[in-house]
Amino acid sequence: MIKINWDEYKEHKKYSVRNDNFEILLEFMKSFYNMTSPTDMFEIFSQDDIASMMLEKRNIKEPEDLENFLFKL
């Protein structure tokens, strides 16, 4: 399983035009890990303390919720 490289995320964040840290994380996962599957992202986020807090804050409890969030972006 992939672990989120938070140092690379911080570097990516410097150049992002987004303001929301979770949106930046989604953008980072797409660009750095070439990941597009909401199910895969959800699994990785749920195993990471910081990312799981971001999910909880947005009331994302399952991969389908994350997919719906992605469609809103």
Q: What is the pLDDT of residues 45-68, one digit of tens each?
A: 999 999 999 999 999 999 999 999
CA distance 7 to 9: 5
pLDDT digit string, tens, across residues 12-23: 999 999 999 999
pTM: 0.93
Residue 34 has pLDDT above 90, yes or no: yes
Residue 50 confidence (pLDDT): 98
For residue 1, name the pLDDT band (cuts at 50, 70, 90).
confident
Q: Which ranges in the chain belong to alpha helices (H)?
A: 6-14, 21-32, 38-46, 49-57, 63-72
Please tell me the predicted confidence (pLDDT) of residue 16.
95
